[in-house]
Amino acid sequence: MTEAQKARLAMRRGEWTGPTKHTLPGYVKCNLVVLPKADAYDFIVFCLRNPKPCPVLEVTDPGDPEPRLSAPGADLRTDLPRYSVYRNGLREGDVTDVRQLWREDSVAFLIGSGMTWDDPLERAGVPKMKTWVLETKLQTVPAGRFHGPVVVTMRCMTPAQAVIACQLTARFPMNHGSPLHFGDPAAIGADLEHPIVGQPVKEIPAGLVPVFWACGVTPQWVALASKPELMITHAPGHSFVTDLLADQICLP
């Protein structure tokens, strides 16, 4: 049994409810979106029009919670440590099991996560560092009912680290790829005073440059703006761990 399989079983049993960031290095991690079939077509078009925040790795058949391509035998209703639930544009309390919310027409989307390249980035000489999740003034390209702002992750790096990060993450297009911005946060309207994840930032430390990647939390902000009847997602930082290996899916 692989480490990824052991971790998913621990999540299924409720023994692992914390974040997956900086855990299980080497495995591809994914963000989750689950929608009724009636909304699935518009959402896949939305993802195709917004490949930086929403690079789709797998879509399940309606009613089937098993991601047969990326993690055979897994159950997307139980095998994440924590889920967020949105109804009609409102976020309900997070849960650790969504079997009671799963429907016969539920379609699951696995969207590549930047957590996948945390380990390759560290091996390339960029150490683990604090990450913020921020709303921006950038807007996604709408599709059907789906629209809303782009959410980003921000890391503060030295210029040398930023060069390495830009080059390395470009090799992971299915995990958000290269940064969409670096430098002045105001240029993209990044809300440093009210981060989604992380402490408020008053100023960027001297000698560091903020680097911004598109983030898989974007669909959750789209849920708030678009108000679908029901959207189930991963809780921020609590991604799904696949059996895929990061070094095998990146570009040469």
Per-residue pLDDT tens digits for 209-233: 999 999 999 999 999 999 999 999 9
Residue 174 has pLDDT above 90, yes or no: yes
Contact partners, residue 127, CB within 8 Å, separation at least 6: none
What is the Cα–Cα distance from 142 to 72, expressed in whole angstroms?
A: 32
pTM above 0.75, yes or no: yes
pLDDT band (50, 70, 90) for residue 98: very high
CATH-assigned architecture of domain 118-214: 2-Layer Sandwich (3.30)
Which of the four pLDDT bands, split at 50, 70 and 90, describes residue 22?
Answer: confident
N- to C-terminal Cα separation, the chain? 28
Q: Which CATH superfamily is domain 3-115+222-249 in?
A: PSTPO5379-like (3.40.1640.10)
Is residue 30 a contact partner of residue 70, using CB atoms and an 8 Å limit?
A: yes
Give the domain ranges of the chain.
3-115+222-249, 118-214
